Amino acid sequence: MDTKTPAAKVKSSTSKDGNHGARESCTVTDNATGQSVELPLLSGTLGPKVVDIRRLYADLGHFTFDPGYTATGSCESKITYIDGDKGELFYRGYPIEELAEHSDFMEAAYLLLNGELPTAGQKKKFERDITMHTMVHEQLIAFFRGFRRDAHPMAVMCGVVGALSAFYHDSTDINDPQQRVIASHRLIAKMPTIAAMAYKYSVGQPFVYPRNDLKYAENFLHMMFAVPAEEYKINPVLARAMDLIFILHADHEQNASTSTVRLAGSSGANPFACIAAGIASLWGPSHGGANEAVLKMLMQIGDKSRVPEFVERAKDKNDNFRLMGFGHRVYKNYDPRAAVLRKSCHAVLDELGVRDEPLLDLAMELERIALHDPYFVEKKLYPNVDFYSGIILRAMGFPMSMFTVLFAIARTVGWVAQWNEMIEDPNAKIGRPRQLYTGKALRHYLPVTKRG
Ligand code: SDX
């Protein structure tokens, strides 16, 4: 590749192609051989153009190299758009702030799955469809008995959700659109039920069945916190906060867990197995596990007076401590979801009569100091969605170990929407990246008697 002159020269277009706008291209030249290849430059509705490198290996004999996919588009999608520099997030074109203020999780789920906001009738039918799948097969209960009571609920989620494919053979044919719809509804509907069961099992309380008269978030809170010994009263403020948290976490472009679901699905694996793979990926502390890690970090810091010490540690290359809940691969501005959650924190704490939450004060002090520190400013490290969510969830009564489970409940909508989009994409093929091999060249077997 010509490193002296810009490798990508954009030539003016002469005609429009399919759905990618004007036909533009760039030329890549191998300076060693002088060989060049012209590659199409594709434009989307929003965001950077992409260099279509599908001919690169065939025409120039080289692969591209991009560990972590920092500058690589893995697919075409119409679902979610993020502008990291502006701190913008759109679900099917609607800004997350507007959906957070005016919508609810079931409506946002319909939007992500179908591409348009539902009519009143469509929404009512969708909610009914989901409600009618909230119970799980009674035999699934047996799976919980196999876990230790102190198992991390994300381990339980990985196992039990993956096992759903053993129960719902009538919705595993991914080539049948009707079966894809049923599998999608089953997954969205049953995640809260399984999540609540994982929590109840961990605290030794009886499982609580879903109720068809409750909305999605209300039903989840009921299954989580109701006990047979007394009536559970839904707190509408907490139910609204739960619904809001679900909206904010529903989808986020091609993040690690969504890419995991797409890659698993690209082999034709059934949707239950794909979502279980997504849950496993989300569990990592660099991804969905960060909300739990943030609270542990705040507890470790303990007091505002120690914030500068930990900010310095986060800047020290020799210290593997990182400010959890800070930084993002795409956002180089404030994560719009964090801004909504920051406001919601106060509403929930006020509703719960929590006048003084030291962890919130600590988080806001940490944010204040970090956002004025040259290291964080220069690297454009801002609070992300995980920075405030844990404080709200803890105030709502969730144990830290359940935080990422809640993230998984919400993100199941995005995973399912992205999985369906991939299956329906006529250009979809099995994902199979290549590599830069730096291991040993050809050599031959030596008997042990001849080895050094
Ligand atoms: C989510 O992809 C998504 O969309 C994810 C998500 C979604 O909705 O699906 O938004 C959800 O996963 C949010 C992110 C939650 N994770 C955390 O909060 C963990 C802490 N943050 C990071 O570890 C980190 O910021 C990542 C993983 C989020 C992003 O990592 P990148 O893009 O690979 O960036 P990087 O690790 O290369 O960091 C760039 C620089 C580095 O310094 P240099 O090597 O260039 O000198 O910034 C530094 C890093 O050391 N850095 C941090 C930091 N995050 C990055 N330094 C201190 N504290 C941090 N939190």
| CA gap 86, 334 in Å, rounded | 8
Q: Are 324 and 293 in contact (CB under 8 A)?
A: yes
Nearest-5° angle of CA 202, CA 206, CA 212?
Answer: 115
Nearest CA to ligand 1 atom 1: 287
Q: Which atom of ligand 1 is nearest to the CA of 255?
A: 2
Q: Which one of 52, 386, 425, 444 is the catalytic residue?
A: 386
Nearest CA to ligand 1 atom 30: 329
Exposed/middle/buried for residue 355 (C-beta within 10 Å: 0-12, 13-18, 19+): exposed
Q: Give the model's pLDDT for residue 203.
A: 96
Strand order in the sheet with 36-42: 24-29, 36-42, 50-51
CA 306–ligand 1 middle distance (angstroms)? 22
**Annotation says 328 is catalytic:** yes
Q: Which atom of ligand 1 is nearest to the CA of 375?
A: 56
CA 323–ligand 1 middle distance (angstroms)? 9
Which residues, judged by CB distance below 6 Å to any ligand atom, belong to the binding site of ligand 1?
A: 68, 252, 255, 286-288, 290, 314, 322-330, 379, 381, 384-386
Nearest CA to ligand 1 atom 34: 329
Nearest CA to ligand 1 atom 44: 317
CA 383–ligand 1 middle distance (angstroms)? 10
CA 227–ligand 1 middle distance (angstroms)? 40
Mutation probe of ligand 1 site: the residue of 328, 382, 411 with most atoms within 8 A of C-beta: 328
CA 286–ligand 1 middle distance (angstroms)? 7
User: Among positive and negative, which fits the CA dihedral 96, 98, 101, 102?
Assistant: negative
CA 135–ligand 1 middle distance (angstroms)? 37
> pTM higher than 0.85 for the full model?
yes
The partner residues of 89 in beta bridges, in order of sequence, read: 82
Nearest CA to ligand 1 atom 2: 255
Q: Give the model's pLDDT for residue 19.
A: 46
For the chain, 452 residues long, give each residue's pLDDT as a single digit of tens: 333 333 433 343 334 444 455 589 999 999 999 999 999 999 999 999 999 999 999 999 999 999 999 999 999 999 999 999 999 999 999 999 999 999 999 999 999 999 999 999 999 999 999 999 999 999 999 999 999 999 999 999 999 999 999 998 877 888 999 999 999 999 999 999 999 999 999 999 999 999 999 999 999 999 999 999 999 999 999 999 999 999 999 999 999 999 999 999 999 999 999 999 999 999 999 999 999 999 999 999 999 999 999 999 999 999 999 999 999 999 998 999 999 999 888 888 888 888 788 898 999 999 999 889 999 999 999 999 999 999 999 999 999 999 999 999 999 999 999 999 999 999 889 999 999 999 999 999 999 999 98
Q: Which atom of ligand 1 is nearest to the CA of 326?
A: 60
Q: Give the model's pLDDT for residue 299.
A: 95
Q: Which atom of ligand 1 is nearest to the CA of 387?
A: 18
Mutation probe of ligand 1 site: the residue of 80, 82, 252, 326 with most atoms within 8 A of C-beta: 326
Q: For the chain, how far is it from start to end, CA to CA, in angstroms?
A: 42
Q: Give the model's pLDDT for residue 70.
A: 95
CA 416–ligand 1 middle distance (angstroms)? 25
Q: Give the model's pLDDT for residue 351.
A: 86
Nearest CA to ligand 1 atom 20: 324
Nearest CA to ligand 1 atom 31: 329
Q: Give the model's pLDDT for residue 11.
A: 40
Please report where in the chains the tokens 């990291």 appear, as a residue: 84
Q: Give the model's pLDDT for residue 22.
A: 53
Q: Are 71 and 58 in contact (CB under 8 A)?
A: no
What's the chain look like in SS3? CCCCCCCCCCECCCCECCCCCECEEEEEECCCCCCEEEEEEECCCCCCCEECCCCHHHHHCCCCCCCCCCCCCCCCCCCEEEECCCCEEEECCEEHHHHHHHCCHHHHHHHHHHCCCCCHHHHHHHHHHHHCCCCCCHHHHHHHHCCCCCCCHHHHHHHHHHHHHHCCHHHCCCCCHHHHHHHHHHHHHHHHHHHHHHHHHHHCCCCCCCCCCCCHHHHHHHHHHCECCECCCCCHHHHHHHHHHHHHCCCCCCCHHHHHHHHHHHCCCCHHHHHHHHHHHHCCCCCCCHHHHHHHHHHHHCCHHHHHHHHHHHHCCCCCCCCCCECCCCCCCCCHHHHHHHHHHHHHHHHCCCCCCHHHHHHHHHHHHHHCCHHHHHCCCCECCHHHHHHHHHHCCCCHHHHHHHHHHHHHHHHHHHHHHHHHCCCCCCCCCCCCCCCCCCCCCCCHHHCC
- The alpha carbon of 118 is separated from its chain's Cα centroid by a whole number of angstroms, namely 23
Q: Which one of 222, 251, 328, 335 is the catalytic residue?
A: 328
CA 295–ligand 1 middle distance (angstroms)? 17
**Annotation says 213 is catalytic:** no
